[in-house]
Amino acid sequence: MLVGRAKLAWANASPVAAPGSEAALLYAGPLGEQNATLVVLRRNDAAGRTSLGFMTTPSTTGTPDTTTLKVRAQVTVSPSAPAPAAYGFVVSRPAPGDQAPASWAAALVAPGMSAARFGTSAVEHEVAGTAGSPLNGLLTVDLPPQAAAWNTELAFGDRGERGVASLAAAADDPATRTVTATPRLDGTFTVTGAADTQPGDLLTLHDGLIGVVTSGGPTASASTDLTTLRTSGLSAWTATSDRPVSLAAGPGEQTTVTAGPDVLREGDRIVAGGFPGTAAVINLGTVHMTPDGTWILRRDMWFPVTSTQATLIRHP
* Domains in the chain: boundaries: 2-169, 174-316
Predicted pLDDT at 163? 45
Give percent helix, percent strand, percent coil of the chain, each to the nearest 5: 10, 40, 50
Predicted pLDDT at 292? 92
Of the two residues 131 and 73, the one the predictor is more confident about is 73
Q: What is the arithmetic mean of pLDDT over 218-231?
A: 91
* Phi, psi at 33, each rounded to 5°: -70, -10
pLDDT over 90 at 302, yes or no: no
pLDDT over 60 at 132, yes or no: no
% of the chain exceeding 90 in pLDDT: 49
pLDDT digits 0-9 by tens, 256-297: 999 999 999 999 999 999 999 999 999 999 999 999 999 999
Of the two residues 195 and 49, the one the predictor is more confident about is 195
pLDDT digits 0-9 by tens, 178-216: 999 999 999 899 999 998 999 999 999 999 999 999 999
Highest mean pLDDT among 44-58, 124-138, 223-237: 223-237
pLDDT digits 0-9 by tens, 57-114: 988 877 888 888 999 999 888 776 667 788 899 999 988 888 876 789 999 887 777 6
Of the two residues 281 and 21, the one the predictor is more confident about is 281
Q: How far apart are CA 94 and CA 185, in angstroms?
A: 41
Predicted pLDDT at 41? 94
User: Out of 41-55, 108-122, 234-248, 261-275, which region has the weakest mean confidence (pLDDT)?
Assistant: 108-122
Q: Which of 204, 209, 208 is nearest to 227 (CA)?
A: 209
Buried b / exposed e over 179-198, threshold 16 CB at 10 Å, is: bbbbbeeeebbebbbbeebe
Q: Is 5 helix (H, G, I), strand (E, B) or coil?
A: helix
- Binned at pLDDT 50, 70 and 90, residue 18 comes out as low
Q: What is the pTM of this model?
A: 0.89
Predicted pLDDT at 160? 46
Is residue 191 within 8 Å of residue 204, measured between CB atoms? no
* CA quadruple 60, 31, 90, 52: dihedral, nearest 10: -130
- Binned at pLDDT 50, 70 and 90, residue 153 comes out as confident
